[in-house]
Amino acid sequence: MDKALAARLIRQFIEETFFFSEAESLADDDSFLERGIIDSTGILELIAFLQDTFEIRVEDEEAIPDNLDSIERVAEFLTRKLDGSAEQLAATAEEKRA
């Protein structure tokens, strides 16, 4: 998955789910926690969005600010998860062909 596309989809979800006033802006590297945009319940919504939309599983040890605390970090995490899935699928396919 293209990281820029991932960032756009995540931004759209954030803006639609967590109400912003028109004056507010959110940079890709703004911390959700520091900006007060998402609390711990909101993170559950974000995790549900990622799992349902992209058919991934966010493990307990992955549900950390390093992975989820900004649009940029979520996009990077998502890209890694999806690229990782793609690589695993490719490796599995190679094994079956062998």
Partner 1 sequence: MSASCTIDSTLLRIDPARETERIVASIRETVFHRLRRKGAVIGVSGGIDSSVVAFLCARALESRRIQIIFTPESDSSPDSLRLGRMVAEALGAPAVLEDIRSILQAAGCYRRRDEAVRLAAPEFGEGFKCKIVLPNLMEADRYALFSVVVQSPDGRKRQVRLSREAYLGVVAATNFKQRTRKMVEYYYADRLQYAVAGTPNRLEYDQGFFVKNGDGAADFKPIAHLYKSQVFQLAAYLGVPEEVQRRPPTTDTYSLEQSQEEFYFSLPLEQMDLCLLGKDQGISAAGLSDAVGLTPQQVERVYRMIDAKRKMARYLHAAPVLVEPLENSAME
Chain positions contacting partner 1, by CB under 8 A:
33, 36, 39-41, 43-45, 47-48, 60, 63-66, 68
Nearer to partner 1, 66 or 94 (CB): 66
CB of 29 to partner 1, least distance (A): 17
Give the C-alpha distances (Å, rounded to integers) separating 84 from 38, 42, 60, 96.
27, 26, 18, 18
Tell me the C-alpha distance between 85 and 79, whole Å.
10
Nearer to partner 1, 55 or 60 (CB): 60
